[in-house]
């Protein structure tokens, strides 16, 4: 088996699960990823006309899809270092009126689910009236414990101050890719648990390379995988010009700040929590 050095700062064209099997045990610190959702679009309405991948038709029987995702998540667990994390983005779907929740298969994998984050995209992909406009997706923060200690390391208050609802508009669909992340999403995930230090950041469904750009902007090493050579080319070009996206990283980092720390407020006797039961002051932010 090749050492992890062989994979660093590269994007590999291939199947996520097959390539993961070639990575050594416990060699990755953080993964931020979003697999294809198995949308099985029967007809593409005007809103979803561009929602087609270049090299993948996103159309598996649901049972097979979930088996694949569990196998994938378990392989990801093997390559992740103890103490490492995965941010796995997925969403609630409906198949002929029956709700399919990603928790169904994520909870069958080997991972400890540390948190379910709601990604409020503020925009719906389907605006028909079958149900209320669905603007949210899920991000599972998965954690590989060190030994028997399942809780994991505490993150700093300046990161934990963000709520479990991340309000970020998605990148608009382009001719190049149907479903890129907003850069702020992997930036927040990675920076919150690894401000500094050359961590190994992976995205096995790298698409246009958003996670990899976020890792590079934050000074980490990256590994990308995608089945489409078209997307890999786009991601490589984007990484070469990564400094163009520096201002977005700076903006996200600035948000990770506490103007009035807890200790000072405690000393003044003005402790309130922005999301606490007694909070009446909108001014208070940690
Ligand atoms: C939701 S998109 C990821 C988008 C990415 N987060 C970005 O910001 O551009 C899913 C990606 O998975 C890729 N893909 C589909 N099947 C794959 C497989 N078996 N192995 C690796 N990549 C795959 C698609 O080509 C697509 O780029």
The pair of three-digit structure tokens given for residue 94, joined into one six-digit string: 């409906």
Handedness of CA 12, 32, 190, 107 (dihedral sign): negative
Region 2-13 average pLDDT: 97
CA of 259 to the centre of ligand 1 (A): 39
Give residue 46's pLDDT.
42
Domain count, the chain: 2
Is 80 exceeded by the pLDDT of residue 174?
no
| Same domain for 86 and 158 | yes
Residues 187 and 200 in one domain: yes
> Of 207, 232, 235, 248, which is best to mutate to test ligand 1, by the most ligand atoms within 8 angstroms of its C-beta?
207
Q: What is the distance between the alpha carbons of residues 224 and 213, in angstroms, rounded to a whole number?
A: 10
Count the alpha carbons within 13 Å of 17 in the hemisphere toward its beta carbon. 10
The pLDDT of residue 275 is above 90:
no
Tell me the CA–centroid distance for residue 81 and ligand 1, in Å: 23
20 plus 101 within the same structural domain: yes
Name the nearest CA neighbour of 72 among 38, 99, 115, 119. 38
pLDDT of residue 49: 43
CA of 82 to the centre of ligand 1 (A): 26
What is the CB < 6 Å shell around ligand 1? 15-16, 34-36, 53, 55-56, 177, 179-181, 205, 207-208, 210, 225-228, 231
Reference 74, options 150, 14, 22, 21; nearest CA is 21
- Note whether 124 and 235 are same-domain residues: yes
Q: Does the pLDDT value for residue 155 go beyond 90?
A: yes
Place of tokens 């294809």: 36
Distance (Å) from CA 89 to ligand 1 centroid: 12
pTM summary value? 0.91
Whether 38 and 162 map to the same domain: the answer is yes
Please classify residue 42 by burial: count the beta carbons closer than 10 Å to its beta carbon, then call 0-12 exposed, 13-18 middle and 19+ buried.
Answer: exposed
Do 106 and 172 share a domain, yes or no?
A: yes
pLDDT at position 55 = 64
pLDDT value of residue 42:
52
Q: pLDDT tens for residues 70-104?
A: 999 999 999 999 999 999 999 999 999 999 999 99
Q: Are residues 273 and 216 in the same domain?
A: no
**CATH value at residue 151:** 3.40.50.150
Query: Which domain covers residue 277, as residue numbers?
Result: 259-286
What CA–CA distance (Å, rounded) separates 97 from 270? 50
pLDDT at 226 over 60: yes
**What pLDDT does residue 274 have?**
72
| CA–CA distance, 271 with 215 (Å, rounded to integer) | 35
Residues 265 and 166 in one domain: no
Residues 150 and 278 placed together within one structural domain of the fold: no
Q: Is the dihedral of CA 265, 278, 160, 171 positive or negative?
A: negative
Per-residue confidence band for 218, with pLDDT thresholds at 50, 70 and 90: very high
Given a cut of 50, is residue 44 above it in pLDDT? no
Judgement on whether residues 209 and 276 belong to the same structural domain of the protein: no
Within this chain, do residues 241 and 283 fall inside the same structural domain, yes or no?
Answer: no
Residue nearest to atom 19 of ligand 1 (CA): 15
- 173 vs 102, 151, 233, CA distance in Å? 23, 37, 17
- Residue 207 Cα, ligand 1 centroid: separation in angstroms? 5
**33 CA to middle of ligand 1, Å?**
9
Q: Best of 222, 226, 232 to mutate for ligand 1, by most ligand atoms within 8 A of CB?
A: 226
User: Per-residue pLDDT for 241 more than 70?
Assistant: yes
Q: Is the pLDDT of residue 62 over 90?
A: yes
Share of the chain above pLDDT 70, in %: 89
- Residues 265, 251 share a domain: no
């Amino acid at each position: 088996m090749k050492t992890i050095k062989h994979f660093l700062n590269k994007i590999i064209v291939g199947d996520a699960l097959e390539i993961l099997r070639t990575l050594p045990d416990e060699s990755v610190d953080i993964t931020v990823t979003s697999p294809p959702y198995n949308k099985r679009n029967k007809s593409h309405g005007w809103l979803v006309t561009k929602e087609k991948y270049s090299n993948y038709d996103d159309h598996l029987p649901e049972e097979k899809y979930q088996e694949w995702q569990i196998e994938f998540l378990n392989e990801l667990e093997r390559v992740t270092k103890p103490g490492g994390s995965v941010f796995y983005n997925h969403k609630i779907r409906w198949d002929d009126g029956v709700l399919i929740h990603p928790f169904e298969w994520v909870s069958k994998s080997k991972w400890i689910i540390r948190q379910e984050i709601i990604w409020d995209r503020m925009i719906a992909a389907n605006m028909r009236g079958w149900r209320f406009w669905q603007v949210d997706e899920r991000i599972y923060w998965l954690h590989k414990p060190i030994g028997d200690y399942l809780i994991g390391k505490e993150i700093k208050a300046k990161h934990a101050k963000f709520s479990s609802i991340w309000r970020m508009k998605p990148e608009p669909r382009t001719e190049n890719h149907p479903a890129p992340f907003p850069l702020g999403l992997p930036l927040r995930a990675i920076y919150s648990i690894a401000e500094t230090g050359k961590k190994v950041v992976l995205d096995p469904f790298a698409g246009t390379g958003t996670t990899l750009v976020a890792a590079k902007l934050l000074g980490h090493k990256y590994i990308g995988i995608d089945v489409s050579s078209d997307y890999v080319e786009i991601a490589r070009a984007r990484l070469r010009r990564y400094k163009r996206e520096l201002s977005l990283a700076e903006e996200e980092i600035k948000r990770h700040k506490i103007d009035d720390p807890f200790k000072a407020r405690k000393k003044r006797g003005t402790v309130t929590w922005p999301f606490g039961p007694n909070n009446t002051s909108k001014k208070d932010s940690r």
